[in-house]
With several copies, the nearest count.
Chain A
Amino acid sequence: MALVSLRHDPLRVDELIAATAGPDHGGIAVFIGTTRRDADRTEVVALEYEAYEELALAELEAVAAEAEALGARVAISHRLGRVAVGEASIAIVAAAAHRPAAFAACRLAIDEAKRRAPIWKRTVHADGTAVWRDGVSAPVS
């Protein structure tokens, strides 16, 4: 399995863990981002993700490489399309010899992936309205 991927179906954390596994790893840190019910005014029922796929893959690969420079093996998978409340939109796995490097690489990867990858979401509300989070329709959060 590729260490960086964009998927239109549910993320498979177990596959990411298997992809990063190795006998010299003693610690695996994982981050899973999920759709939160949230609700400023109306309840969120799903997020819908869209990517500039070519550049998003390149950017996530760059992020994974930067995280691996901290001493870990890193895999990143981002889901596109509709992601219902409770489902995962991003999964990051960082496997390292010891847990400090695993945690540091995982944290760097999620922070940078969110900051840099050209991927956008819109919040879909229970009342049927949908709002892009792209700084135009609504602030990025």
Chain B
Amino acid sequence: MVTGMPDDIDVTVMLFASLKEAAGTDRLQIRVPAATPVGAVWAHLPEPIRSTAPPTALRYALNDRWIAPGTPMSGGDRVALILPVSGG
């Protein structure tokens, strides 16, 4: 599927910690086919991130809620990539 098709959607990807540092930004706008699952976002990150394997412990949030990677996205969604946490 080619970007720019009528059924493509724009979503925001939120990045934190070393992902934010690697991307040089905390937010990316990407265009993906409608209903693309949350778990497919990694392949749309900028190089060199997309060429590395996503961390196995990566989790996702959609519009500020935890979500399973198979959940389809809609236009205007905010997807957050959550690396293993280290707060406290």
Contacts and interface: CB of A to CB of B under 8 A. Distances in A.
Interface of A: 33, 49-52, 54-56, 58, 78, 89-90, 110, 113-122, 132-137, 140-141
A114 B88 contact: yes
A131 to B, nearest CB: 9
B87 A90 contact: yes
A118 B18 contact: no
Contact of B65 (A55, A56, A113): A55
Contacts of A134: 16-19, 83-86
Interface of B: 14, 16-21, 55, 57, 61, 64-66, 80, 82-88
Contact of B84 (A49, A58, A135): A135
A56 B82 CA distance: 11
Given A122-B17, A132-B17, A132-B21, A55 B64 contact: yes
